[in-house]
Every structure is written in C-alpha cells, then in structure tokens.
Amino acid sequence: MNYLEEYRLWSTAHFLIADAGYELGDVVEDGQELLLVNPENRGAQMVRLVLSDLNWANQLRREIEFMLDNAKKLKRELGAKDLKILNVYYTQYSPVDDFEELLAQSRNGMDIDTIIVDSETGITALAKIRQRFGAKQEYVEQESYSEDEVRAMIDLTLSEAGKKAKKNLAPEQGKPWVSYLLIAISVLVFLAMTAAGGSTDTQNLIEFGAKFNPLILDGEWWRFFAPIFIHIGLLHLFMNSLALYYLGPVVEQIYGHARFLFIYIFAGFAGVLASFLYSPNLSAGASGAIWGCFGALLYFGVNNKRIFFKTMGSSILTILAINLAFSLTVPGIDISAHLGGLAGGFAASAVAHFPGNQKRLQQFAVLAALALSVSGLLYYGFSQNYALVDEKSMLMFAQEKIQKEEYRSAEQALSEYTVDEGESADTLFLLSFAEIRLGKIEEAKEHLHSALESNPDFHEASYNLALVYMEEKNYRKAKDYAEKAVALKPDNKDYMEILNTINDYLESPASG
C-alpha cells in the first residue's frame, strides 16, 4: 500500500468536514479508520472511512457485521428512527471473489452503503462520493503523494475538525461575563433590599418589583421582568446564584453573550407569566430563568444529540429530573414558574439558534408562533380580571391604595373582586372604609352590616358602624355597635372612648 490511498482517505475526510457539515467523531487505529457524523444529513448521518487491504469478500462481510453492531449505539445517541451509513474502503485491490451483494445492507432500521475505492476505480468513485455531498468542483488528484504531503493533509483535516468542534461547543470564547453580571445584579438588588428593610418583608418585596398579580393587573407590566433579579432571603439568593454560576457559562459559551442574555431574560419572563396565570401568590426569584438554561441545553441536545450525550446529556437530564421531582413534592415551590421558564428557555433558544448556523426561516416561524402564544396568554390573563388574585393579595393591594389615599382605585378593585370571587368579611370591611372616605355612607353601612353577618366577632366593623351612626347623629344605634365592639375587645381604649362619648351625649340635656 502506498501513500495514495492514505491521502485519498484524509482528503475525503477534509472535504466532508469543511464542505459537507460533518464532524470528526473518532480516529481509530492511528488514522486507519475515521468516523464522521452529521445528524442533519438524512442521506448518511454517519460516514466511515477505512484504510484496509480487502483480499476476500468474507473479510468485507465481517467488517460490515461489526459495523452494524456498533451503529446501534450511534442510533441511540442520535435518537434517529432510521440510520444511514456510508462505508468507504480505501484499498489498492478489491476482493478477488464476488462481493457486490455486500455493498447494500439493511438491518433494524439501519442501512449501510459500501463503496470501495481501489487503484482502478478510485478517481471515479471519489468523484461520485463528492457529488453525493454537493461538491461543485471536479475532483482531481496526483498520481502519487509523498509522506510529507499526507502529513500536511492530516494536519489540515484535524485542524479543520478542531475549529468546528470548538465552534459547536463554545462559539464565543473568553469569560462568560454575562453570567457573572447577572449574578452581580442579583446580589446588589439583595443588598439594597436588605438595607431598605429586608428581602423577606412583604411590603419591601412589592416595592422592589416582586410578582404581585393585583399590581400587574393594575398596569405595572415591568413586574414580568423585575422578579428575575429579586430573591426572598439569603438562601434563595445563594441557591439560584450557585445554579447560575455553573449553568450560565455553559449556555453562554454555546449560544454567545447576546443570545444567552436574550434566552435568560425571556425564560425569566416566561416563568413569571406562567406564575401570573397559575399562582396568585406573591413571588420572586431567578428560578424561571435558570430553568430556562436547562431548556437551552435541551434545545442544544435536540440539535446535537451525539455531542450532547457524549459530553453532558446524561448529567443534565438527571439533574433536571431531580429538580422536577423536588419542585413537585416540596410545598411552597412555584412549579408553574419553573416549567414556564423551561419552556421559555427552549423556545427562546429556537429563536436565537446557534452562532454561525442560522436557519432564518425556521427562526422566524418560531418567533411568530412565540409572539402569538405570548399575546394569547397575556390577553387571557388580563381578561380574567381579578380571578387571578387571591383574597390575601387583594387585601394587601387595597390597603396599599388606601395608605396612598387612592380610595377610588381601592373601591373599584374591591368591588370587582367581590363580584368575581364572592364577599368575605375582610374585603367588605376594606370596601366600606374606602366608601366612607369617598362619602358613600349608605353603601359603607350596607357592607359593614354584611361583614358582621359573615363574621359576628368582627369588632372593627362594629366600631366603624358606631362611628358612622354617630356621624349621622343616630346615637342609639351608635351605642349598640360601640357596646358590641367593647364586648368583643374590652381592652381597646378607642372602643371605650367612643362608647363613653356616646353615653355622655345620651345622658346630657342636649340629647333631649
């Protein structure tokens, strides 16, 4: 065997890597056998190039049988229903006995086409191989090659393969500064919240922008994004920062800085949107965005199955399964935000795709579908009015409006809430307070009476009724409700004071 066959093998490999989108999988037996993979080429997801002397057809048969057995693993890695393999042998002479029946073999969804490149048919066979993979230039070669020329072709091929591998696994080199910047922002926000009163204080969380459904429905759209950088307690910050520290750089190197930032922010938004639709609770945290990193890695795996499972696939799927089980079983975890972030990260990755490998039509189609989906979900959420708000959140919202003396907003929200979700003593009491401030005394009295019917021990409602009747100079009724308030809360000085004031008036000559 001379250097011609060896040069042919490596020049074919270089063509497949540089021009046909293949990646170098394995180099076997010191370069005597090469495996190249391109899952997107349905005509041949795998190409096997072998430098070998084929003397007999039985040798070729054993080689093909061995190849079929080993191809099962590749089929699983690619997740392919059907696997097509091109098997190319570089040899000086073809087998002396009949071998044509072995050139096309099939088994269990795997098809192997075999081409023999020998001294007689070499140029023709190589030209057909290149045409099969879209070569535009005619194949030409010298009559012979030196060892140095072969070595130069090997170096050129391996260099091209290395560049492609680095591009696929880490298209943007350098430090993953976006990941570190996101962690730094979260830490700074946490410190600011701590200085302002604590990151677990409900009012503080609301003021800094936590997800709070009543305020989102009130028009504060920025609360779909602000919660990504807010954490409830030091442990919450530490766990999310740790996850981002390990996951973020991997995703950032695969997709690049700008694409990673887009994926992270959109996944965080998707997590908050899902929480807005399915959980009425006050919430915050980067969990949705971090689950979006899992979604981005899954998208990478779908498009690069072999690399994914060869490098990180099993670990990622195991961690994802553990986190999913944890989220489903531990109370208090906002599973809707996690799953929303996972889906959002996957979808955003499909829109961004990979650097240097753009699929504009596919990306635009996904973007259009994503825009329609988000618009539909937002329309659904805002059309539900206060159905997405629980009583605790509504009371907090109304109290905040009352503290700001925005009585009309408080009255409108509480009125709509009681119509949609039913009346409770607490909501009726706050509604009556707003109505008193707006001068709607009759409506306020009606709602205070309803509150007492719902909860006879509601001493604050009795006290407010005493005040209302006293303002109307109906001192007999005022006394009845003041006495009820004192009976329920005898140690309350305000209640005793109003009762004494009423009694003094009733005992005075002016009472008539």
DSSP structural state of residue 61: H
Q: What is the pLDDT of residues 167-176, one digit of tens each?
A: 655 555 568 8
Determine whether 502 is exposed, middle or buried from the number of CB atoms within 10 Å of its CB (0-12, 13-18, 19+): buried
Same structural domain for residues 152 and 37? yes
Amino acid at 459: H
Same structural domain for residues 239 and 155? no
Take residue 46 and report the two structure tokens written for it.
């795998």
The backbone torsions φ and ψ at residue 22, rounded to the nearest 5 degrees and listed phi first, read: -90, 155
Q: Is the dihedral of CA 390, 393, 398, 401 positive or negative?
A: negative
Same structural domain for residues 37 and 103? yes
Q: What is the mean pLDDT of residues 26-30?
A: 71
**What is d(CA 330, CA 334) in angstroms, rounded to the nearest whole number?**
10
Q: Are strands 83-90 and 46-51 parallel, antiparallel or unpaired?
A: parallel
3-state SS, one letter per residue, for 186-238 = HHHHHHHHHHHCCCCCHHHHHHHCCECHHHHHCCCHHHHCHHHHCCCCHHHHH
Residue 43 maps to a domain: yes
Same structural domain for residues 205 and 238? yes
**What is d(CA 292, CA 261) in angstroms, rounded to the nearest whole number?**
11
Report CA Rg, the chain.
Answer: 36
Cα dihedral 457→461→467→471 (10° resolution):
-130
| Under 8 Å between Cβ of 85 and 111 | yes
Q: What is the pLDDT of residues 84-101, one digit of tens each?
A: 888 888 888 777 666 666
Q: What is the pLDDT of residues 214-268, one digit of tens each?
A: 999 889 999 999 999 999 999 999 999 999 999 999 899 889 899 999 999 999 9
Map tokens 């509480």 to a residue: 414
Residue 330 maps to a domain: yes
Q: Residue length, the chain? A: 512
**End residue of a domain, out of 356, 384, 412:** 384
| Under 8 Å between Cβ of 118 and 1 | no
Query: 509 pLDDT exceeds 70?
Result: no
Same structural domain for residues 63 and 145? yes
Query: Domain with 441 in it: what CATH number?
Result: 1.25.40.10
Query: 511 pLDDT exceeds 70?
Result: no
Cα–Cα distances (Å) from 483 to 202, 432, 473, 506, in that order, read 35, 20, 17, 14
Determine whether 10 is exposed, middle or buried from the number of CB atoms within 10 Å of its CB (0-12, 13-18, 19+): buried
From the candidates 14, 231, 338, 459, give the one annotated as an active-site residue.
338
Task: Report the pLDDT value the prediction gives residue 48, as an integer from 0 to 100.
Answer: 87
Residue 512 maps to a domain: no
Q: What is the pTM of this model?
A: 0.70
Q: Which range of residues forms the domain containing residue 115?
A: 3-169
**End residue of a domain, out of 335, 367, 384:** 384
3-state SS, one letter per residue, for 327-356 = HHHCCCCCHHHHHHHHHHHHHHHHHHCECC
Task: Report the pLDDT value the prediction gives residue 100, as an integer from 0 to 100.
Answer: 67
Query: 106 pLDDT exceeds 60?
Result: yes
Task: Report the pLDDT value the prediction gives residue 159, as an integer from 0 to 100.
Answer: 86
**End residue of a domain, out of 126, 142, 169:** 169
Lowest mean pLDDT among 75-79, 289-293, 447-451: 75-79
Same structural domain for residues 342 and 481? no
Q: What is the pLDDT of residues 319-372, one digit of tens each?
A: 888 877 877 777 677 889 999 999 999 999 999 988 877 788 999 999 999 999
Same structural domain for residues 198 and 336? yes
Domain count, the chain: 3
Same structural domain for residues 379 and 419? no
**What is d(CA 505, CA 289) in angstroms, rounded to the nearest whole number?**
65
- 287 given a catalytic annotation: yes
Same structural domain for residues 379 and 397? no
Beta bridge partners of 35: 26, 48
From the candidates 287, 336, 349, 450, give the one annotated as an active-site residue.
287
Query: Domain with 78 in it: what CATH number?
Result: 3.40.1340
Same structural domain for residues 143 and 195? no
Query: Domain with 246 in it: what CATH number?
Result: 1.20.1540.10
Same structural domain for residues 345 and 428? no
**What is d(CA 164, CA 412) in angstroms, rounded to the nearest whole number?**
61
Task: Report the pLDDT value the prediction gives residue 173, as an integer from 0 to 100.
Answer: 54
Residue 421 maps to a domain: yes
Task: Report the pLDDT value the prediction gives residue 378, as an integer from 0 to 100.
Answer: 94
Counting residues of the chain whose pLDDT is more than 90, the rounded percentage is 29
Same structural domain for residues 153 and 238? no
- 338 given a catalytic annotation: yes
Residue 152 maps to a domain: yes
Residue 298 maps to a domain: yes
